[in-house]
Structure formats: C-alpha cells, structure tokens
Amino acid sequence: MFFMMGITDGRKDFDFNQVITCDECGRYGRYQVYMTYMVLSLFFIPCFKWNRHYYVQTTCCNALYELDPEIGRRIARGEDVEILPPHLQRVNPQYGYGFENGSGNTIKRCSNCGYTTTEDFEFCPKCGRRL
C-alpha cells in the first residue's frame, strides 16, 4: 500500500469589485483581492488548508497590501464589504509602478516576473506583460 501526498502553496482569487483612487499613484483603479495558503493533498485531493493570508492588489499601479484577516474572511464568504485604509497594511513599498532609486530615476517593476528597469517601457522586455 502506498500514499500519494504533497504539500503545496495555493492562491484563490475572489470576485470583489471596489473602485478606488489610489493613494500610491493617484490614478483610478480597483482592488483585486486574493488569498494565499498552504494545502495538504492526498491522492491529488486538497484535504487541509492552513497559513491563510489575504492580499489586496491595485489594478492601477500593482501596489500590494495585506488585508485584515477578518475582512478577508468576510469577502471569502461572499459578504458585501468595503475595504478602508485601516484594513490595509502595505507589504512591499517597492512593488509596482514608479518608485525612485537613490539617483532620482523612476524604476518600474513588472508584477509578473519581477524585472526592474529605469527605462520608460510600457511592456516588460522580459515577459511581455504591461508594466
């Protein structure tokens, strides 16, 4: 008798729409909410999830925030929730569009592959996604 089991990480995107004016870049955008977790699978069937974290990413500049777990659970249940600034904690201030390095040049970072550049590219030269 043998067992097929594994531990992997997962991500679940939620159908959540809230239009915002971004505090980081000043443009209009919306929040994309998702959850990351670790999962134990037996025979390729997910059995147990733990280490759940809820994140919010803006569509305008890809700023990434960690969401208050209680608000995240309410969104996961499908409740109508409004995300307020006290519910968010900035994860990586260098993530997303337009932060400056020490020389004053604006640096863009691809949200897909992590490629950084100081050039004024509209698309990532490494993976082709929009910056």
Domain boundaries, the chain: 5-93, 105-130
How many Å apart are CA 59 and CA 51, to the nearest integer?
A: 25
* Tens digit of each residue's pLDDT (9 = 90 or more) over 21-36: 988 888 899 999 999 9
CB atoms within 10 A of CB 3: 6
- Which amino acid is present at 68? D
How many Å apart are CA 105 and CA 89, to the nearest integer?
A: 26
Burial code (b: 16+ CB inside 10 Å, e: under 16) for 48-80 equals eeeeeebbbbbebbbbbbbbbeebbeebeeeee
How many Å apart are CA 32 and CA 19, to the nearest integer?
A: 10
Q: Give the pTM.
A: 0.67
* Tens digit of each residue's pLDDT (9 = 90 or more) over 14-69: 999 899 998 888 889 999 999 999 999 998 888 999 999 999 999 988 889 999 99
- Do residues 7 and 29 make contact, with C-beta atoms less than 8 angstroms apart? no
- Which amino acid is present at 16? F
- Asked whether the predicted pLDDT for residue 95 surpasses 60, the reply is no
CB atoms within 10 A of CB 115: 16
